[in-house]
């Protein structure tokens, strides 16, 4: 019985979103009546141990939630937790990391698409910053990575980035490899 309750807990935790009794029953391979009994037992166990989470029936589904009295602490977590980056934003970050200092136009020429949103997101997260102006007509802004970038991806310095096959030409394969490396580290 403890094992099935542990499985139930793992499923509810991993989901993050409300799951219907039918969905839970299907996942844990029990019928709905038995699943309801397990949910009730699990919820009572949470209540009796007086921990920081509760099992809540929300919108026809069950979900693990923070107890309201502890929400203030969880809210602080969202202020320090790194946000997940979309694939286009990761691609833009990879190009900046490998080719810095680099202008917006140079990044767009490599990617072949406009990058306003990705650039804004990276600046918002302080993963990149303005590094000055390029000494050409129009004096476009040069972008490069920050110390926050290094800490986020577990790098001591930029020399820890993998070497590109040809430093003068960033190939799709090299960008994909950099995204794979950077993407893996950002999810940990």
Per-residue pLDDT band for 184 (boundaries 50, 70, 90) equals very low
Beta bridge partners of 18: none
Task: Indicate the average pLDDT of the chain.
Answer: 85
Burial class (CB in 10 A: 0-12, 13-18, 19+), 36: middle
% of the chain at pLDDT higher than 90: 56
Q: If you average pLDDT over residues 74-79, what whole number do you get?
A: 69
Which CATH fold would you assign to the domain 2-77?
A: Arc Repressor Mutant, subunit A (1.10.10)
- The per-residue pLDDT for range 2-38, each reduced to its tens digit, is 899 999 999 999 887 889 999 999 999 999 999 999 9
Instruction: State how far the Cα of 31 lies from the Cα of 143, in Å rounded to an integer.
Output: 57
Q: Tokens at residue 22, please?
A: 């039918």
Beta bridge partners of 130: 143
For residue 66, the SS3 value is: strand
Does residue 79 carry a pLDDT above 80?
Answer: no
Higher-scoring residue by pLDDT: 136, 73: 136
Q: Tokens at residue 172, please?
A: 């799709």
For residue 142, the SS3 value is: strand
Instruction: State how far the Cα of 103 lies from the Cα of 134, in Å rounded to an integer.
Output: 8
Q: How many CB atoms lie within 10 A of CB 91?
A: 24
For domain 87-187, the CATH class is mainly alpha
Q: If you average pLDDT over residues 167-187, what whole number do you get?
A: 56
Which residues of the chain form CATH 1.10.10.10? 2-77, 87-187
Does residue 180 carry a pLDDT above 70?
Answer: no
> For residue 48, what is the enclosing H or E element?
helix 32-49
Q: If you average pLDDT over residues 44-60, what whole number do you get?
A: 89
DSSP summary character for residue 109:
H
Report the pLDDT value the prediction gives residue 183, as an integer from 0 to 100. Answer: 59
Q: If you average pLDDT over residues 154-179, what whole number do you get?
A: 69
Per-residue pLDDT band for 60 (boundaries 50, 70, 90) equals confident
Does residue 171 carry a pLDDT above 60?
Answer: no
């Amino acid at each position: 019985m403890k094992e099935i309750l542990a499985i139930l807990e793992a499923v509810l935790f991993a989901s993050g979103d409300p799951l219907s009794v039918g969905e839970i029953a299907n996942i844990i391979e029990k019928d709905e009546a038995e699943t309801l009994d397990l949910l009730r037992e699990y919820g009572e166990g949470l209540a009796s141990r007086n921990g920081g989470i509760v099992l809540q029936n929300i919108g026809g589904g069950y979900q693990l939630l923070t107890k309201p009295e502890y929400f203030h602490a969880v809210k602080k977590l969202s202020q320090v937790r790194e946000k997940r980056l979309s694939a286009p934003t990761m691609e833009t970050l990879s190009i900046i990391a490998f080719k810095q200092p680099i202008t917006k136009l140079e990044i767009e020429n490599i990617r072949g698409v406009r990058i306003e949103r990705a650039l804004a997101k990276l600046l918002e997260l302080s993963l990149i910053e303005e590094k000055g102006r390029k000494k050409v007509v129009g004096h476009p802004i040069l972008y490069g990575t920050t110390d926050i970038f290094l800490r986020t991806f577990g790098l001591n310095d930029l020399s820890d980035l993998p070497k590109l096959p040809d430093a003068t030409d960033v190939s799709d394969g090299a960008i994909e490899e950099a995204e794979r490396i950077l993407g893996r580290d950002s999810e940990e």
